[in-house]
Structure 1
Amino acid sequence: MRTSSLSMRLGLTVSLMGAGLVVLLATLAYLALTHELEKLARKGLESKMEQLQHSLALGLDTHAIKARPHSLLDLVMGHDNFYLTIVGTAPDNAVLLSVGAKPQEPLLTDFSPRETLGYLNWQDQDGNQVLSASSLMRLASGERVRVLLSLDRRDDQALLSAYLRATLIALPMLLILIGMGAWWLVQRGLAPLKQFSHVAAQVTTQDLTHRLSIDNLPQELGELAQSINVMLRRLDAGVQQLSQFSDDLAHELRAPLTNLMGKAQVTLSRERPSEEYKAGLESCTEEMERLSRIVSDMLFLAQVSHPAARAGFGPVSLGEEAQRVMALFALSAEDKHVTLNLRGDAWVTGDRLMIQRAISNLLSNAIRHTPEGSSVLLLVETYDQSVALSVGNPGRGIEAHHLPHLFERFYRADSSRTRAEGGTGLGLAIVQSIMQLHQGHADVSSQPGRFTRFSLVFPLPCDGPTGTTPAAPARSAR
């Protein structure tokens, strides 16, 4: 099902809202004008009725009204829209005075006899609107008469009709202007989205350098543009990292594969004794074991890079896990006459086997680079917001320019030595990935020629055993 465009829907919505607002304002203005004209008409009738009351109370009686009506006629003469009728009371209800051609006798039955002023809107035979007022008034003689005063509102009706005609003429033009204005506003408002679409069309895996300009954008779209730019930067960094990783992986795999092919070709180049074939196969086996370690490490990196690996997290004692790892490396340390010491303990939340592997990678490197007869210290410390397990050893240290890159995949501070020892160049990268999975990080500090310390920094656990147990005595393994 094809949906209408956003600009069309927004334009139509704004146009309808604008049209509705204009119609509402025009209606309110018409009602206000009608009310104001009604108010002015009643005020005029009330003023005339007060003047009539005053004149009738100055010595007039029913005979005087008939004989000398000029004092009353002066009040309505010259006003073509006023009509006056004075009627006597029961029993005869005789008309004492009638001024104007407007037939008002039928109204005598529409008003109930009362001294308070009453109003009535009605239409004459020509369809003109008329407002009438009626009241019982007392004469000087004590007699009472009914006074009926009417106002022809033909002028008010003409004014309202003119207003309606002007509104009906202007309304279509206003609606057209509103529609054009709404279309312009919508196009202007959606212009940044067209820029977003243009940039998105240019983004490819080969070119992630395009960015959205946040200049002159409204706040909401500016925040969206910043979020998209951050996303593009992350994608760019990820693609570059993946490309670099692919290059490094190809380079790492090329060496053992080349060695395998070379040794196999040399071995098969001529007839050899069985001992030489056996030596060649053993050499090929070593290279295949190295390939197997690289593949295994790569699979492990992929595993710890997935958030689902956190499913098995639970309370872990860093001191206990460090002690287990020290027991595994006790023979290696003893061969180099290196002493392993452990101080402190603390609980964190994590995966026990992964933490063991991170400690193992750091401890194996420490033993490998520690001079004979020296010691390696594993220290667990608790801070305000974190828990750290550090592995420190004396030795020649690491140059400062290597430190920022040590946790990158396949990075080696001493390439030839590491390969000769069978390393894959992924050990520290695995450590960093494990720590990132635990929402922590790995850190390193080194003083060349003196000391090197690697640290695993964990966040404080939110549940389960927390903090640090009473300081454990130093434990060692030889």
Structure 2
Amino acid sequence: MYFRTRIFAMSILTVSAVLAMVISLSWSRIMQVELDHLDSRLCMEAKRIPNRLEKKLEENDFPANVSILSDTELLGSRLIDDLVDKLRVSSPSQLMILVESSQHGILTKSEGADVQHIISRLNWVRADPLQPTDKNRRNALCQVAFFEHQQNQWRASLFQAPDKQSFIAVDVAATTRQLQSTLRQALIVVIPFSLLLSILGAWFIASNTIRPIKRLHKSMDRVTQKDLSHRLPEHKEDTEFKMLIDAYNTMLERLEDSFQQVSRFTADAAHELKTPLTVLRGKLEQAVLSENPSQLDLNSILDEVGHLSAITRKLLLLSQADSCSLALHLEPINMTELLDELTADMELMSDELVLHCSIERELITKGDIVLLRQLLNNLLVNVMRYSLHDKGVTIQASQNESCIEVLISNACVAMSSEVRSQLFDRFYRGEPEHSQGLSGSGLGLSLAREIARAHGGDLTLEPSVKEVVTMRLILPIVK
């Protein structure tokens, strides 16, 4: 599915859901307001009817305790017609009426239902004090109730005064039928119009959302493997897309750095391997052309093979580290004993070296003894080659919380910040005037750092003055 289609569909569904919710909530609110108005009208009519009937009795001068109006007469009267009109019902059968007074008894009531029984079982939910027309009458109340009769919902009001009471109930469905019809007619117009607007709005939203993505796509098409220097523009984009562009540009920078590093690594590896291979080829050709093969310098050939083997092994370890497949054979290692052994070898190799050691006892961790020995040996060999022996070398080892920290510091020829930033680059051996006459492949520090990281630690160059190099090795304590 296209992204545009998905956004369009989600917009339509969202608008439709909101429209349905609005209609539902609006209908509920309208019904509640209509029922409240119906209660008020019922109370008003329940209060008005006894007065009208009493007035009619007085005008016709009937004796007391005589029911003047029968149910048939009432249904045909203007009174019931007036109620049907005011209460918005379609027929008198949707009304229940009971009016009685202490003077005349039951004035009128509906047939077909036991109204008095219905009144007796109703749970009246509200009783509002009213002010009757005759100010001499006090304590007039109007109560309302909601009940079910013959599977229909009814709303009722009961007006009570000291000398009379009247009951009016109306079928709620009759009062709401007109509202439903009105709402249905409105929805016939509103829903298609709303759907049309939602479709246009969803299409507009989808198009505007896709537009910056298309711009990004066009810019990304210009990025190729041979040209990783192109960066996506950030101007006039929304914040979310700026974040995406920043992430993409950062990824391009890392890719460009990686490609450049791989290219340099490939070229440097070819150059480093070319030298011993050239020497070996020359020696072998010399032996083949020589009349006396016994004069072959086997020692020099063996040295070149050893150099070639060392470079190959380091390249293999770096390749494994890059692919996160460097196999570690973990075992308990006493770092104190390992450092003591290697520093003792350093003192034997140089009489001029001034060594200051501060190594805590019983520094125990788990690691690969072969790789950790190579790590420390690479660091110490680097110190032997490039340090000023008479200035001294400081080696400190201690336990810092949950890790072992080894700090190696030595004096050297002044080193610029540019050189320091490249010390861990592969095949980098510093400035030519500083490394002239010194052997090495430039892989030692890079391999040492990869070994430290493979053990969950790190090897970093600490800030210092130009004449001092300080390496900090951190190894976690694995129990």
TM-score by length of 2: 0.69
Which residue, 137, 144, 162 being the options, matches 2:100? 137
Q: CA deviation at 1:366?
A: 3.0
Question: What is the match of residue 13 of structure 1?
Answer: 10
Q: Measured at CA, do residues 138 and 316 of structure 1 come closer, stay the same or move farther in structure 2, by a change above 3 Å?
A: same
Which residue, 178, 182, 204 being the options, matches 1:184? 204
Question: What is the match of residue 349 of structure 2?
Answer: 332
Question: What is the match of residue 75 of structure 1?
Answer: none
SS at match of 1:136: strand
Question: What is the match of residue 358 of structure 2?
Answer: 343
C-alpha separation in 1, matches of 2:99 and 2:464: 113
Question: What is the match of residue 26 of structure 1?
Answer: 23
SS at match of 2:397: strand
Q: Measured at CA, do residues 136 and 223 of structure 1 come closer, stay the same or move farther in structure 2, by a change above 3 Å?
A: same
Contact 1:86-1:98 at 8 Å conserved across structures? no
Contact 2:429-2:441 at 8 Å conserved across structures? no
In structure 2, runs of 5+ residues without a counterpart are 111-167
Q: Measured at CA, do residues 404 and 94 of structure 1 come closer, stay the same or move farther in structure 2, by a change above 3 Å?
A: closer
Q: CA deviation at 1:242?
A: 0.8
Question: What is the match of residue 48 of structure 2?
Answer: 51
Q: CA deviation at 1:53?
A: 1.4
2:479 aligned with 1:442: no
Question: What is the match of residue 108 of structure 2?
Answer: 146
2:246 aligned with 1:209: no
Q: CA deviation at 1:192?
A: 4.2
C-alpha separation in 2, matches of 1:97 and 1:271: 141
| Within-5 A mapping of 1:302-341 | 302-309=319-326, 311-313=328-330, 316-329=333-346, 331-333=348-350, 336=351, 338=353, 340=355
Q: Measured at CA, do residues 182 and 40 of structure 1 come closer, stay the same or move farther in structure 2, by a change above 3 Å?
A: same
Contact 1:338-1:370 at 8 Å conserved across structures? no
Counterpart amino acid of residue 325 in structure 1: L
2:264 aligned with 1:244: yes
Contact 2:427-2:441 at 8 Å conserved across structures? yes
Q: Measured at CA, do residues 385 and 200 of structure 1 come closer, stay the same or move farther in structure 2, by a change above 3 Å?
A: farther
Question: What is the match of residue 273 of structure 1?
Answer: 292
Q: CA deviation at 1:241?
A: 0.9
Contact 1:432-1:441 at 8 Å conserved across structures? yes
Contact 1:409-1:429 at 8 Å conserved across structures? yes
Q: Measured at CA, do residues 59 and 256 of structure 1 come closer, stay the same or move farther in structure 2, by a change above 3 Å?
A: closer
Counterpart amino acid of residue 263 in structure 2: S
Question: What is the match of residue 77 of structure 2?
Answer: 99
Contact 1:18-1:178 at 8 Å conserved across structures? yes
* Number of matched pairs: 412
Contact 1:7-1:187 at 8 Å conserved across structures? yes
2:150 aligned with 1:172: no
C-alpha separation in 1, matches of 2:203 and 2:356: 76
Percent of counterpart pairs with the same letter?
21
In structure 1, runs of 5+ residues without a counterpart are 67-84, 108-118, 465-478
Q: CA deviation at 1:359?
A: 1.6
After superposition, the CA RMSD in angstroms is 4.4
TM-score by length of 1: 0.69
C-alpha separation in 1, matches of 2:101 and 2:276: 129
Which residue, 287, 304, 313 being the options, matches 1:287? 304
Q: CA deviation at 1:414?
A: 5.8
